[in-house]
């Protein structure tokens, strides 16, 4: 590249890294030659010199991060890393094995040194892949999820036990818990806490697992029909009309009859009533 641009290798390095000491014309000539030769910067080479500049975060599509929106978590994480001159390298992947493969590529390219592993599962392949790639994973889950790895734990078991005691205090004795997939450690902790609280009073709880997305939680498990409101019986057509609709002459689910219109005389071109015709 230096020979093609007619400059030294030091000038090429300064121009490509946008440093001072190179004129505008020389920098443009070096960049034009680099584009003609198809040169692209090597992330691994740059990381060896400057060090990792970001913390990796791979999110499975459709998932929340411990019940919180993804962008909210990224914003908080970025604000904490900004003081150290670091950023967040956010990627969306289809599943956990794809995240594990991404960790291996990040390790080979030395793109980052630390990765955040959210929504830890039982026998999570991502933790093993990150460690083998030379990365330092930080798991969002129980401290003992993997020996020797850092973890940030939220006491979901105690939190859901408190939820259970609150519902019991309201007089509920049979509750359904709509939860994330059963292989997530957080789901298991939430279920343990809820069942422990209800067992103290002899109450029962049904756990319904979903795919972990907001849409899955709203729609319920596949194959189960969504609950529908039961119509009130009585009145015309088998349904009871509301007072306001009944005053207008309609029933629930049926529009009110059209209002009569006042007859108006047809007007001629100049606004005068037409002769020989009655108003309809």
Give the tokens for residue 233.
């019986």
Q: Give a yes or no: residue 204 inside a domain.
A: yes
Q: Is the pLDDT of residue 267 over 80?
A: no
Number of other residues whose CB lies within 10 A of the CB of residue 166 = 11
Burial tier of 261 (Cβ tally within 10 Å: 0-12, 13-18, 19+) = exposed
Say how far apart CA 70 and CA 202 lie, in whole Å.
38
Say how far apart CA 228 and CA 245 lie, in whole Å.
22
Question: Which residue, of 219, 239, 273, is where some domain finishes?
Answer: 219
Q: Give a yes or no: residue 182 inside a domain.
A: yes
31 and 92 belong to one structural domain: no
Q: Give a yes or no: residue 250 inside a domain.
A: no
Q: Give a yes or no: residue 232 inside a domain.
A: no
143 and 78 belong to one structural domain: yes
pLDDT of res. 198: 92
Q: Give a yes or no: residue 26 inside a domain.
A: yes
Q: Is the pLDDT of residue 221 over 90?
A: no
121 and 194 belong to one structural domain: no
Q: How confident is the model at residue 253 (pLDDT cuts 50, 70, 90)?
A: very low
140 and 161 belong to one structural domain: no
Question: Which residue, of 152, 168, 183, is where some domain finishes?
Answer: 152
Q: Is the pLDDT of residue 1 over 80?
A: yes
Q: What angle do CA 177, 181, 184 make, to 5 degrees?
A: 105
Q: Give a yes or no: residue 224 inside a domain.
A: no
**Contacts of residue 106, Cβ cutoff 8 Å, sequence gap at least 6:** 56, 89, 112, 115, 133, 135
Q: Give a yes or no: residue 173 inside a domain.
A: yes
Q: Is the pLDDT of residue 158 over 90?
A: yes
pLDDT of res. 272: 52
55 and 137 belong to one structural domain: yes
60 and 101 belong to one structural domain: yes
How many domains does one find in the chain? 3
Asked whether 101 and 129 are in contact (CB, 8 A), the reply is: yes
Q: Give a yes or no: residue 226 inside a domain.
A: no
User: Mean pLDDT over all residues of the chain?
Assistant: 77
pLDDT of res. 144: 74
145 and 105 belong to one structural domain: yes
Question: Which residue, of 202, 219, 236, is where some domain finishes?
Answer: 219
pTM here is 0.55
53 and 146 belong to one structural domain: yes
Say how far apart CA 42 and CA 240 lie, in whole Å.
72
62 and 9 belong to one structural domain: no
Instruction: Residue 195: give its domain's CATH number.
Output: 3.40.50.2300
Q: Please give the residue that has the higher pLDDT: either 197 or 16.
A: 197
pLDDT of res. 251: 43
173 and 195 belong to one structural domain: yes
Q: Is the pLDDT of residue 226 over 60?
A: no
36 and 73 belong to one structural domain: no
Say how far apart CA 35 and CA 89 lie, in whole Å.
26
171 and 204 belong to one structural domain: yes
Q: Which domain holds residue 96?
A: 48-152
Q: How confident is the model at residue 162 (pLDDT cuts 50, 70, 90)?
A: very high
Say how far apart CA 64 and CA 141 lie, in whole Å.
14
Say which DSSP state 156 is in.
H
Asked whether 251 and 237 are in contact (CB, 8 A), the reply is: yes
């Amino acid at each position: 590249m230096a020979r093609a641009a007619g400059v030294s290798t030091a000038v090429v390095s300064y121009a490509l890294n946008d440093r001072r000491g190179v004129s505008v014309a020389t920098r443009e000539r070096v960049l034009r030659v680099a584009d003609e030769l198809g040169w692209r910067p090597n992330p691994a080479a740059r990381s060896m010199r400057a060090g990792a500049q970001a913390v990796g975060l791979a999110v499975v599509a459709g998932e929340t991060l411990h019940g919180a929106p993804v962008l909210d978590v990224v914003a908080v994480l970025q604000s904490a890393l900004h003081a150290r001159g670091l950023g967040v390298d956010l990627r969306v992947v289809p599943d956990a094995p794809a995240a594990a493969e991404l960790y291996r590529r990040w390790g080979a390219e030395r793109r980052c040194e630390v990765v955040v592993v959210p929504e830890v599962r039982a026998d999570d392949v991502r933790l093993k892949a990150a460690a083998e790639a030379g990365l330092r994973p930080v798991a969002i889950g129980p401290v003992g999820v993997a020996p020797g790895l850092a973890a940030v734990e939220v006491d979901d078991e105690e939190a859901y036990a408190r939820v259970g005691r609150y519902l019991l205090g309201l007089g509920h004795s049979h509750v359904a818990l709509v939860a994330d997939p059963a292989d997530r450690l957080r789901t298991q902790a939430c279920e343990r806490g809820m069942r422990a609280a209800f067992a103290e009073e002899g109450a029962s709880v049904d756990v319904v697992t979903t795919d972990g997305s907001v849409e899955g939680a709203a729609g319920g498990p596949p194959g189960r029909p969504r609950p529908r409101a039961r119509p009130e019986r009585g009145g015309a057509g088998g349904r009871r009309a509301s007072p306001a609709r009944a005053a207008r002459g309609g029933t629930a689910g049926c529009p009110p009859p059209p209002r009569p219109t006042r007859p108006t005389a047809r007007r001629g071109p100049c606004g005068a009533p037409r002769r020989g015709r009655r108003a309809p």
